[in-house]
Amino acid sequence: MELTKKNLVFMGAPGAGKGTFSGLLLEQVKLAHISTGDMLRAEKASGSELGKKLAAIMDAGQLVSDELVGEIVESRLSKSDCDTGFILDGYPRTIAQAEMLNKILTKIGKKLDAVVFFDVPDEVVLERLTARMSCSKCGAIFNKLFMKPAKPGICDHCGGELIQRSDDSLETAQGRLKVFHESTQPLIDFYRESGLLMPITELDKAKIFQIMLDGLK
C-alpha cells in the first residue's frame, strides 16, 4: 500500500463511518475536507430557492443531480487549500459523477491517489444511522448506542442541541442504503479496475487509520 496518498476519495454506505474517520484524520493532517452532503445541507439550511428544491430530494434520501454536485465540487476543488491534498467525502456516488470528476481533475491539473472504500454490512449501517445524532450548532456526530454525549441531547464540544437528521429515520435510511447499492456500488469495480481502490473493514479500520496517518503526516 502506498502511504503518501493525498488526493483521496472516501466512499461507503451512509453511516459507514466516512465522516468520523475524516474527522479523526483531519485533527492531525492538513487536508481540505470536501463533503458534498455538508455543502448541500448548508445550501438547504440557507432557505434559498435551490435549498428548498434540495430539501425535497435529500429528505427523501434520493441523490441530487450529477450536474449540480459536479458544479459544487469543481468550484470547491479549485480553491487553493486543496493544493496540499483533499478528502472528497461522499463524492462521487455514481459512475457519471466519477467520470465528471476525472474531467474536473484533468482540467485543474490534479489526479486521484486513492479511493478508500468503507466496507460495512447493511445491518450495522442501519443500526448506526437510526441512532445517529448530530449537533445543530457545530455538526459533531454522536450516537445513542456507542458514542453517547456526556449529557443526553447536548453536544460535548459546544453545548449545542443534538438533533436527528431528517434523513436518518428508519424508512429513509433504508431507502438511502438502497440508493447506495444501486448507484454507488458500481463505482467499487470502476475504481478497482483503475487500481485506486483501498478497502477498509471494521476489523482493520484502526490499523489503516494509523498507516494513513503515518503516511500523510
Residues forming contacts to ligand ADP in the complex (CB under 6 A) are: 14-15, 36-37, 40, 57-58, 61-64, 69, 90-93, 97, 167, 176
CB nearer ligand ADP, residue 172 or residue 198: 172
Minimum distance of ligand ADP from residue 106's CB (angstroms): 19
Cis peptide before 152 (omega within 30 of 0): no
Q: CA-based angle 208:132:182, to the nearest 5?
A: 70
Pairing of strands 132-135, 141-143: antiparallel
Interface positions, 110-139, toward Zn ion (CB under 5 A): 135, 137-138
Minimum distance of Zn ion from residue 139's CB (angstroms): 7
CB nearer ligand ADP, residue 143 or residue 167: 167
Q: Measure CA 195 to chain center.
A: 21
The H helix count followed by the E strand count for the chain is: 9, 8
CB nearer ligand ADP, residue 62 or residue 174: 62
Q: Which does 135 bind (CB under 5 to 8 A by kind): ligand ADP, Zn ion, none?
A: Zn ion
Residue 170 near residue 126 (C-beta atoms within 8 A): yes
Q: Which of 74, 58, 87 is nearest to 175 (CA)?
A: 58
By the rule CB under 5 A, 160 interacts with Zn ion:
yes
> Of all residues in this chain, which one has the CB nearest to ligand ADP in the complex?
37
Question: Catalytic residues, which ones?
Answer: 18, 93, 132, 165, 176
Minimum distance of Zn ion from residue 137's CB (angstroms): 5
Which residue type sits at 56?
A
Tell me which of 58, 140, 162, 198 binds Zn ion, using CB under 5 A. 140
Q: Which residue blocks in the chain are alpha helix, DSSP H?
A: 18-26, 36-45, 49-59, 66-77, 95-108, 122-130, 170-179, 186-193, 205-216
Tell me which of 157, 181, 192, 217 binds Zn ion, using CB under 5 A. 157
Minimum distance of Zn ion from residue 127's CB (angstroms): 23
Q: How many CA atoms lie within 13 A of 73 on its CB side?
A: 29
Q: Is residue 61 within a helix (H) or strand (E), and if so which, with residue range?
A: none
Q: Is residue 19 within a helix (H) or strand (E), and if so which, with residue range?
A: helix 18-26
CB nearer Zn ion, residue 121 or residue 153: 153
Minimum distance of ligand ADP from residue 191's CB (angstroms): 15
| Contact positions vs Zn ion (CB under 5 A) | 135, 137-138, 140, 155, 157-158, 160
